[in-house]
Chains A and B, each alone.
Chain A
Amino acid sequence: MRPLIPLIIILLLLTGCASPPESTAPLVNLSDLQPLPASSAGEVVPLRVAVAAVISPKGTAESYQPLLDYLSDKLDRPVELVQRRTYAEVNDLIESGFVDVAFVCTSAYVDGREKFGMELLAAPQVNGEAVYYSLLIVPKDSAAQSMADLRDKVFAFTDPMSNTGKLYPTYLVQQLGSAPDQFFARTFFTYSHDDAIRAVADGLADGAAVDSLVYDFAVARDPSLAERVRIIHRSPPFGIPPVVVGPGIRPQLKAELQSVLLNMDDDAEGRKGLEAIGAERFVLIDDSAYASVRDLVSAVGPVSP
């Protein structure tokens, strides 16, 4: 009888140990499906700002947050960041008026201007200029010296509508008397410039063409990238990706937005927002700045179907 008692105690202890971490009371019926409440139309309509996927969505969200906060503060209105995978999707949102203001890619502006009268609001100024370049990059240890050396290699495009990432390299291939489909062994889209840099740095692609602004920004954030890639070609300058509005915007809002952007470098919070996206200030820009891009588009062919 006696030796049984400790045995029973041990057994009780063993069974008593296994207790769940947490527990709550009400029972949820998983098979009783109810329709989800329709997304409540906010009492205050936020200012919707679209940012084209020049860099990855996460990177975009992080770097544009201070600027959006600044806008929200100045306009006294909530600001919502809208991102889409492709430039075309963003252009559709601008056309439909779902977003009020957008940071788009140069070629997307050219396309949108032509299709539905997208309007320029301002442009960032970097290194005292409102221009940027397309950089042809290869892995550090690659022997390639020009686009001609990348024949039958793997090439990473950024977005089908991207000026620096798709139009310009296509133009270069055409200059060599070929087309990307035949020239390269294989191509793929990364949908953002920083992913394209990473694809080359990791050896996933033998070459890529990227936005010089994004490249500088990415290298500034992660200097190790510069050690893994090499620039073999720099394009002539193109008009910098602008800030645009749709044709249906209220003139008052347009003027208000323009004023806030242009005066951003006048206060500390604004400068913080500018710094986060790698710009010195916003300046007014004329449509003529994008003439070279238009030439490129007409040379290569339409960027959107």
Chain B
Amino acid sequence: MKPQFLQGGFSRFWSVAGAVSVRTKILGIVLGLVALMGLGVTMQVRATLTRTMDAQLAEQAISVTRDLAARSTDLILVNDLYALHQLLQETQANNADVRYAFIVDRRGQVIAHTFGGGFPAGLLEANTVLPDEHHRTTILKTDEGSVWDTAVPIFGGRAGMARVGLSEMGVRQLVNTVTGQLLLTTVFVSVIGITAAAFLTWILTRPILDLAKAAQAVGRGNFAPRVPRWADDEIGDLSDSFNAMTRALAKAAEERAEREQLRARYVSGVIAAQEEERKRIARELHDSASQSVTSLMVGMKALSDACESPVLRQRADELRGVAAHTLDEIHSLALQLRPSVLDDLGLPAALERYVADCRGRFHLRIDLAIRGLGETRLPPELETALYRIVQESLTNVARHAEAATASVLIERRDGAVRAIVEDDGRGFDPGTAGKTEQRLGLYGIRERAELLGGKLTIESEPGRGASLFVEIPLKESL
């Protein structure tokens, strides 16, 4: 119960103390320590002083009263009331703490006292002493504070008793004066402590604040700031390490940027070479292989027409069918590799043709919409990239999505071209994205988009289909 309470208290304390700056913490520690020390010392001195002074007062009360009792004996016995009165006055005059003194005769009557005029009610009864006692002291509560009332028997009680009241006021005033001076000293030392601590924390926290500022700049990617080494201490070492780290980071960033540039150049070279190669093969297939097969078909037709044997004619027709199929495949292959229509008629025509081809091949409902392109042609590398992106996306949909429909939207707007490919398939988690093959496909798309300064966004959830969003700015590619 209690430790939990303590723990709760500590966590509450820390929620406040932990939230303030180091400067405030150090100031708080200094102030707290000085105040604690000051208060502790003050309390202890006050307690000790009070105890000592009280003991002194008690002793003084006894000695003054016994002295009075001894000196008043003969005066009481000879009934010299005037001298007795003088003696009491002297006793009071010579002891600043004596508030009152009076003599009680053995019949219990006050025969001399230091009060002018009358005598306080209840004072006589407040203390008494037996004849064989040394003394008796009691602390009286009076309207003037506590009074140490001491009673001493005179002449073994045969001449009555002497009573002296010592006021605590002098002692209390002294104790309060000393306490006040100590507290004043504490405040004075606190002020000095706070000033010193403020200076100290300024010295201590200045390099830390510099470091924090520099670290924020580094976080934003700015490696230029360096922190000065203020002092040859741990923080100075930290500053040096920080500067060394910043330098290393700057160098690493520079190298990375260089490598990145090289890689991009390499990748774009590879892609360009690949496209060129595909184009060449496609043209070769179209120009050379399909011409040959067409010639072959024409030859087969002529052969069939010239043949009189029905068996041979049928055979020739069959071969011509094979050749026609081969020609189709060659065309299809050429289209896959690099549709000449992309170069000749532009992206819309090429996409329409490719989508139409896909519908047939993948048995998939595909909607295609192209907006804002009009008659203008996009830069060839952009057209190629968009074509390849759509191609890769639809291939992915066909292979992995198990979708029934897909839609493709190409849109030119606000100085950028967007390509959106959506499907109603099983979807995937873009973060952990499916199989290696699929990830590779997506990587290719991203690579092509980024080479042209664009970016790829994928939105998908398992069971909810997927949408792939590519945006490429036109300015850079124009």
Given contacts A30-B99, A30-B100, contact A85 B80 (CB under 8 A): yes
Instruction: Kindly state whether residue B67 has any CB partner on chain A within 8 Å.
Output: no
| Interface 9-residue window, one of B142-150, B182-190, B281-289, B458-466 | B142-150
A21 to B139 Cα, complex, angstroms: 8
Contact partner of A83 (CB less than 8 A), chosen from B78, B140, B141, is B78
Given contacts A14-B44, A36-B118, contact A30 B80 (CB under 8 A): no
Q: Are B144 and A30 in contact (CB under 8 A)?
A: yes
Contact with A along B1-31 (1 / 0, CB 8 A): 0000000001000000000000000000000
Q: Are A21 and B58 in contact (CB under 8 A)?
A: yes
Q: Among residues 20 to 74 in chain A, which have CB atoms less than 8 Å away from a CB atom of chain B?
A: 20-37, 39-40, 53, 56-58, 60-61
> How near does chain A come to B68, taking the closest CB pair, in angstroms?
15
A68 to B109 Cα, complex, angstroms: 22
A281 to B147 Cα, complex, angstroms: 53
A21 to B58 Cα, complex, angstroms: 9
Q: Which B residues touch A23, using CB under 8 A? A: 138-139, 141
Q: Are B142 and A34 in contact (CB under 8 A)?
A: no
Most buried by B among A28, A40, A56, A61: A28
Q: Which A residues touch B36, using CB under 8 A? A: 4
Q: Which B residues touch A31, using CB under 8 A? A: 120, 143-144
Contact partner of B119 (CB less than 8 A), chosen from A7, A33, A61, is A33
Most buried by B among A4, A22, A35: A22
Q: Are A56 and B74 in contact (CB under 8 A)?
A: yes
Instruction: Kindly state whether residue B123 has any CB partner on chain A within 8 Å.
Output: yes
Q: Are B120 and A34 in contact (CB under 8 A)?
A: yes
A23 to B44 Cα, complex, angstroms: 24
Q: Which B residues touch A37, using CB under 8 A? A: 109
Instruction: Kindly state whether residue B219 has any CB partner on chain A within 8 Å.
Output: no
> How near does chain A come to B458, taking the closest CB pair, in angstroms?
54
Q: Which B residues touch A57, using CB under 8 A? A: 73-74, 77-78
> How near does chain A come to B228, taking the closest CB pair, in angstroms?
38
Contact with A along B27-69 (1 / 0, CB 8 A): 0000000001000100110111011001000100000000000
Given contacts A26-B141, A58-B74, A61-B158, contact A14 B120 (CB under 8 A): no
Q: Are B40 and A30 in contact (CB under 8 A)?
A: no
Contact partner of A58 (CB less than 8 A), chosen from B54, B116, B120, B155, is B155
Contact partner of B123 (CB less than 8 A), chosen from A14, A28, A61, is A28
Q: Among residues 108 to 149 in chain B, which have CB atoms less than 8 Å away from a CB atom of chain A?
A: 109-110, 115-123, 126, 137-144, 146-147
> How near does chain A come to B123, taking the closest CB pair, in angstroms?
5
- A38 to B, closest residue via Cβ: B109
Q: Are A30 and B123 in contact (CB under 8 A)?
A: yes
Instruction: Kindly state whether residue B292 has any CB partner on chain A within 8 Å.
Output: no
Q: Are A24 and B126 in contact (CB under 8 A)?
A: yes
Q: Are B119 and A27 in contact (CB under 8 A)?
A: no
Q: Are B142 and A28 in contact (CB under 8 A)?
A: yes
Q: Which B residues touch A60, using CB under 8 A? A: 77
A27 to B142 Cα, complex, angstroms: 5
Instruction: Kindly state whether residue A15 has any CB partner on chain B within 8 Å.
Output: yes
Q: Which B residues touch A24, using CB under 8 A? A: 126, 138-141
Q: Interface size bucket, B side?
A: 35 or more
- B73 to A, closest residue via Cβ: A58
- A36 to B, closest residue via Cβ: B119
Q: Which B residues touch A22, using CB under 8 A? A: 137-139
A269 to B237 Cα, complex, angstroms: 107
Given contacts A28-B123, A29-B142, A30-B143, contact A61 B77 (CB under 8 A): yes
Q: Are A29 and B143 in contact (CB under 8 A)?
A: yes
A31 to B126 Cα, complex, angstroms: 16
Most buried by B among A25, A27, A30, A40: A30
Instruction: Kindly state whether residue B79 has any CB partner on chain A within 8 Å.
Output: yes
A29 to B119 Cα, complex, angstroms: 10
- B158 to A, closest residue via Cβ: A61
Q: Which B residues touch A32, using CB under 8 A? A: 120-121, 143
Contact partner of B121 (CB less than 8 A), chosen from A4, A17, A34, A83, is A34
Instruction: Kindly state whether residue A11 has any CB partner on chain B within 8 Å.
Output: yes
A53 to B143 Cα, complex, angstroms: 44
Q: Which A residues touch B126, using CB under 8 A? A: 24, 26, 28
A283 to B36 Cα, complex, angstroms: 86
Instruction: Kindly state whether residue A143 has any CB partner on chain B within 8 Å.
Output: no
Most buried by A among B74, B121, B123, B155: B74
- B143 to A, closest residue via Cβ: A29
Q: Are A27 and B141 in contact (CB under 8 A)?
A: yes
Q: Are A1 and B10 in contact (CB under 8 A)?
A: yes
A39 to B137 Cα, complex, angstroms: 27
Given contacts A17-B51, A20-B54, A56-B74, contact A11 B40 (CB under 8 A): yes
Given contacts A26-B141, A33-B120, A82-B79, contact A18 B51 (CB under 8 A): yes
> How near does chain A come to B382, taking the closest CB pair, in angstroms?
69
Q: Which B residues touch A26, using CB under 8 A? A: 122, 126, 141
A30 to B122 Cα, complex, angstroms: 9
Q: Are A36 and B143 in contact (CB under 8 A)?
A: no
Given contacts A21-B139, A84-B79, A85-B80, contact A11 B44 (CB under 8 A): yes
> How near does chain A come to B170, taking the closest CB pair, in angstroms?
15
Q: Which A residues touch B110, using CB under 8 A? A: 36
Q: Which B residues touch A40, using CB under 8 A? A: 109
Q: Which A residues touch B144, using CB under 8 A? A: 30-31
A1 to B159 Cα, complex, angstroms: 63
A35 to B109 Cα, complex, angstroms: 12
Known: A11-B44, A24-B139, A26-B141. 18 other contacts (CB 8 A): A4-B36, A15-B47, A23-B138, A23-B141, A24-B140, A28-B122, A28-B143, A29-B120, A29-B122, A30-B100, A30-B143, A30-B144, A33-B118, A36-B109, A58-B77, A61-B158, A83-B79, A85-B78
| 16 A/B residue pairs, CB under 8 Å, sorted by A | A11-B43, A15-B46, A20-B54, A22-B137, A24-B126, A24-B141, A28-B143, A29-B122, A30-B142, A30-B143, A33-B116, A33-B117, A33-B118, A35-B118, A36-B118, A56-B74
The 9 closest A-B pairs by CB, nearest first: A33-B118, A57-B77, A18-B51, A57-B74, A83-B78, A15-B47, A28-B142, A85-B78, A14-B47
